[in-house]
Structure 1
Amino acid sequence: MGLSVTISAADEQDAEHILKLQYLCYQSEAELYGDWSIEPLTQSLDALRSELREGHGLVARLGDEIVASVRARIDEDGTVRIAKLIVHPRMRRHGLGGRLLDGIERHFASGVEQLPVPPAKRFQLFTGHRSEGNLRLYRSKGYAQVATRELGPKLTLVTLEKAA
């Protein structure tokens, strides 16, 4: 590749780049489920900025280009809800998703968040039932299925969790 990928905290200036990458990355999910109205494809820039303010985000950069990202927030019961783990299609299968997942877990497990947020007790995320690559990654990182929720005839969400 020539350049190494660096991972750092996402900030306000990254929001527009993250949104564009998110739109690109979720095309394959939309195609898999035949639904281009999924939330990651319709999310506004303001909503993404709000997610970054209310939680924590990471970006992976190849030089100046953001090539992967993840966001998470912790709730009052200590559940860290991880969302929108995305990797540029040309950068998939190089371990970036796993590195971002490890990084967001470390952030919340270290107790970096401000009080009165409790310490992380568990990590939780979800994906579609046909998203085999996602399911494989999450299971390889110790996540186990705890629930499913049918959203329609084409999509069932699989919720996975692991202890902090």
Structure 2
Amino acid sequence: MGMSVTISAASAQDAEHILKLQYLCYQTEAGLYGDYGIEPLTQSLDDLKAELAQGHALVARLGDEVVASVRGRVDEAGTARLARLIVHPRLQRHGLGGRLLDAIEERFAGEPGAKRFQLFTGHRSESNLRLYRSRGYVPVASEQVGPKLTLVTLQKEAPTRAYVASA
């Protein structure tokens, strides 16, 4: 009998687990670009805790283990900036990243100020780009941040909510 993955809001107690998972997951990205000094690999626990306190974060758990996470915040312009969608390597390619992305979008879509969703990834990160495009994201900008890395920013509009007047 297998366990099912549950998605819930991250708590401050999850920070250390998220940071360890982030370090594991970003090894592949660092190798892809030949840069092990990228911010996800150098972020401190205190910085992560501060980031979690400023926005929203979700975790996916398999039993008690944090196996995936995503976080983000809505800025003054109404852009929900999503970041650090990570899935444990042994659970990748099973739809968990898509489920987590859907869940964080749903969370932010409930905020009246959220008009669009935006995220970014490296130009060589084909599986990330494929996932984001399959969820309706389109490239809106790119920025070369190093000799081997161009960040691609993708965006999609938040769904408009219909309000039904009652008599």
- TM-score band (shorter)? over 0.9
TM-score of the aligned structures, taking structure 1 as reference length:
0.95
Taking every aligned residue pair, what percent have the same amino acid on both sides? 76
Paired position in structure 2 for 1:114: none
CA distance in 1, matches of 2:151, 2:64: 34
Which residue identity lines up with residue 120 of structure 2 in the other structure? F
Match of 1:147 among 103, 116, 141: 141
Write out aligned runs for 1:2-81 (5 A): 2-81=2-81
Give a deviation string over 1:47-70, Cα, whole Å, max 9, x none: 111111100000000000000000
**Partner residue in 1 for 2:84:** 84
Match of residue 107 from structure 2? 107
Q: Which residue of 1 aligns with 2:121?
A: 127
Displacement after TM superposition at 1:8 (Å): 0.2
Question: Alpha-carbon deviations, 1:6-52, whole Å to 9, x = none?
Answer: 00000100000000000000000000000000000000101111111
Structure whose CA Rg is larger: 2
For residues 83 and 108 of structure 2, what CA distance do their matches in structure 1 show? 14
Segments of structure 1 that go 5 or more residues without pairing to the other structure are 112-117
SS at match of 2:51: helix
- For residue 98 of structure 1, give the secondary structure of its aligned residue in structure 2: helix
Q: Cα offset for 1:119? A: 1.4
Deviations 1:87-134 (A, max 9, x none): 0000001111001100111001112xxxxxx51000000000000000
How far apart in 2 are the matches of 1:127 and 1:36? 16
